[in-house]
Structure formats: structure tokens, C-alpha cells
Chains A and B, each alone.
Chain A
């Protein structure tokens, strides 16, 4: 349950970030310097995010979701 809530919070933050970035890119298009360099930097940023999400995804898929967090057992619960 706790893990699912943590994942939900994570997804929610990703969604908020996507909305923010979409707004930023829309806003930047109005600038006069919207050129290849800007597009390339957005591409690099997207690739970096993709790499982080891929590694995260790998760890999440390979983990055993049925186990209980020992940290929460010991400190919070």
C-alpha cells in the first residue's frame, strides 16, 4: 500500500513537471531565439529524463513489490 502511494506521488510529480515544461516550451516559442540550438537543448533534456526514467523503471520492475519496507517498519510504523 505504502509503495503504491509512493509511486502515485512520483507519477503525480512527473505529471506536474510535464505540464510545467509544456508551458515553458510554448512560452519559449514566442521568443525570437527559438532556433536549432534551443531545439537541440530540449532534445538533450528529454534524453536525460528518458535515461533517468529508464533506470528507475528497470529498478522498479526487477524489485519485489510484495515485500514490506523495513525502514518504515522500524521508524514510522
Chain B
């Protein structure tokens, strides 16, 4: 038991989960061991696309001016229309970046010493929350495929829950083997605790029987 606990402490040493406490629906005495998120690499890909879009209107204006026989912006009224268009474009781009960040940051999986709580932030107006007790998880599958997933070391963890058709999926999480190890280690601890408490209950029942 001591070995398992110490290994979990080593695994979660780089995190400071206390910053996020308490979460809604947290049980009394329940401890957060880790917060698994998507790999920052997936977020950087979106950022790269948005950065590529940044010079878009200037590029289009330059191209149009290049092919037109006269300059595109001649009067101040043209300048006003152009300013409004560019401003709108940059506001949309900034908002898209912000929404993407929210989708990255609020899509997470909490691993506590009792359960796995998955919050999927699908988009601005929908999120899916699912949870499974550690004792109910019967199988953990790590899926890493493709060049980037193996190079950057991120992948998908799928947890199959007993007596349920659905499964909990942690998408594109960095170091999936570390997260899976943490869950299985903690599962072992939880099962050992359950076993011990069941023994205590049966002992208590025996003593009650003897007394009776």
C-alpha cells in the first residue's frame, strides 16, 4: 500500500492540483491527483492557422490593387469602409483564438483518488460531463497513432466501465502512459481499501453474530 501511494506522489509531483480545488460535486475528503488536458501541441496547430490568417485582408487588398488599374483606396470614405472591414476581421480572429483557448482549457479530465471525472467542452454552448468510479473501470486502452502523436508523445486513453455501454475518453492527452499508470495504480489502492473495508464489515458481522 505504501509503495503504491509513494509512486503516485512521484507521478503527480509536477502538478499543483490544489490551485483548482474545490470542484463542483467534490466529495468530502476527495483528493485531485491529476488534471489531464489535451496536448498543447493540438492547441498550437490552431494558433498557427490563425496566425497564417492574420495578414489575410492586407494580402487580398494588395492582390486586388495589383490587378486593378486604379488604387483601391482613393477617398476617405474608402478608408472608413476598409477600416471597418479590417477591424471586424481582427475582432473575429481574436474571438476565434479566445474561443479555441477556452475549448482547450475547459476540456479536461479530473483524476481523483475515488473517480475519473471527464468534462468535454464540445463548443461554447454544449459540454458533456461523465464520471466513473475507479473500481468500476475494467479496461484502459491507450491509442497512439500517426507520426505527430508518437513524436510529440500524446494520445487517446479510453476507459471501459463495467455495466455501462459508454466509455470515458481522454483525447490527445500528453504522456498517456503516465496518466494510465496513475489511474491503474490508484484503482489498485481503491480496490485494496474496498477489500479492507469489506473485511472489516465481515469481521464486524461475525462479531455481531458471536455476540448474538
Contacts and interface: CB of A to CB of B under 8 A. Distances in A.
A41 B101 contact: yes
A52 interface: yes
A56 B83 contact: yes
B87 interface: yes
A15 interface: no
A65 B77 CA distance: 6
Contacts of A63: 76-77, 79-80, 83
Interface residues of B, number: 32
A24 B124 contact: yes
Contact of B81 (A24, A53, A69): A69
A20 to B, nearest CB: 8
Nearest to A71: B78
Most B CB within 10 A of own CB, among A24, A37, A65: A24
A35 B16 CA distance: 13
A22 interface: no
Nearest to A70: B74
Give the residue among A38, A56, A60 with the most B Cβ atoms within 10 A: A56
A70 B77 contact: yes
Interface string B110-123: 00000000010000
A38 B121 CA distance: 15
A29 to B, nearest CB: 11
Given A55-B87, A69-B77, A17 B108 contact: no
Contacts of B106: 28, 31, 33
A38 B102 CA distance: 9
Interface residues of A, number: 38
B91 interface: yes
Interface string A34-75: 010110010001001100110110011001110111110000
A21 B91 CA distance: 12
A70 B74 CA distance: 7
B80 A28 contact: no
A2 B81 CA distance: 9
B79 A49 contact: no
Q: Ordered nearest first, which 4 A-B pairs have the shortest CB separation?
A: A32-B23, A64-B76, A69-B77, A56-B87
17 contacts: A3-B81, A7-B80, A10-B87, A31-B119, A32-B20, A45-B94, A49-B94, A56-B87, A60-B80, A63-B79, A64-B77, A65-B76, A69-B80, A70-B74, A70-B75, A70-B78, A71-B72
